[in-house]
């Protein structure tokens, strides 16, 4: 699997998981869906269930889950957590995206 998670992203995810106080272990779900201003959009959530088509990997102590269809669009991508003056967010550097919108939450291939 060539989806990478930076240490900054892992640290933030572990903090979010800690804040949830879940009785079951939580994973960081990354997904791509149709929509957004460029055709596809990224989505993130904390999840405690794995679906049949999901692939799970661990990086920097975080279990990351992604479905096969999304992984095809995310091959070689890197997930980072960036804090800037205008706000903080998870950002994906996706080598498969031919263009993206100004907010960075959607892309096209």
Mean pLDDT of 90-106: 69
pTM attached to this predicted model:
0.82
- pLDDT reading at 81 higher than 90: yes
d(CA 23, CA 10): 20
d(CA 103, CA 105): 6
The structural domains of the chain, ordered by start, are: 4-108 (2.60.300.12)
Mean pLDDT of 44-68: 93
2-47 pLDDT per residue, tens:
789 999 999 999 999 999 877 888 999 999 887 656 578 889 999 9
């Amino acid at each position: 699997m060539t989806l990478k998670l930076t240490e900054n992203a892992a640290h933030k995810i572990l903090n979010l998981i800690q804040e949830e106080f879940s009785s079951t272990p939580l994973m960081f779900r990354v997904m791509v869906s149709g929509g957004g201003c460029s055709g596809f959009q990224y989505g993130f959530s904390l999840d405690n269930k794995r679906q049949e088509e999901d692939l799970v990997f661990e990086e920097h102590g975080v279990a990351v889950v992604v479905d096969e269809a999304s992984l095809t669009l995310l091959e070689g991508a890197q997930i980072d957590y960036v804090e800037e003056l205008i706000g903080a967010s998870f950002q994906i550097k996706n080598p498969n995206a031919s263009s993206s919108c100004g907010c960075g939450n959607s892309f096209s291939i």
